[in-house]
Structure 1
């Protein structure tokens, strides 16, 4: 045998031995990591159960309320807002008294599609919020027959008594002009 071949065989056998040791060490390391991960998960689960029980007994909420808003990504068109939907629906209901609810919704959607750069994601939720608003901004009433009426004041039929009449202009009165300051 050639001395170079002997050296080459010795090197190959040493490389194979080191590769086997390396593979064994890697398997052992992966097993240890897996065991450590399982132990950590068990500790975290027990810790969460204990914290939940403590918070329940102390009256605290275990999880803070999460925000429902999804941040807009760059380049994504903005969604329609409740104010935009309300503005368009008021115009349509004022121009078409006694309009059916389905027609109002379709016409509102068509008007919103005409607006440049608007996304209609969440549109139906905004419509429901506007139509069934229980706050002071309530402007619509949905009748039994499915028609939508615009509210002006507390009148459900869309036109308040005397709302179309011209009101006389009252001049502003300065109440303090005749008041005299004495010392």
Structure 2
């Protein structure tokens, strides 16, 4: 049976270096996924994931358990990716905020319900890939990794209100992209 993160952290701090492998096993897919969303390159994402765990291991004595270990390791990974992206002089783009009404969302949901699930997943993935990297990360953390706004704020260094606005904007962009696909008749082939 698996122990909570705190158990392994304590074991590592007491000198049982091998216990860190349990934390790596538990979070390696999530850390790699976050790095890949930001860096969009398998090799860079693998390297960043390794670097993140090395940094976490070396800094484990400074981890104060004020947030979950997953939030802390996400933060390390996020910061590493942003540093690398800045070195590459890539800029995160933004769009003007637009309102997504409940009616718009309900209409889209009704259309999506009628479609094949595999096609929906494919279209959602394509729409997500068209979002700026930061928005992809926010959507991934919130909807797929089920992180709370507070945790996402800690991971990204953005204020909670800024996280909410950016997630709202990303949802609006995805809605627009899906709606555009619908208008172009992509959905009619179902």
TM (norm. structure 2) is 0.22
Q: Highest Rg: 1 or 2?
A: 1
**Structure (1 or 2) with the greater helix fraction:** 2
Question: Structure with the greater relative contact order (CA < 8 A, sep ≥ 6): 1 or 2?
Answer: 2
The structure carrying a bigger strand percent of its residues is: 1
Report the TM-score, using the length of structure 1 for normalisation: 0.23
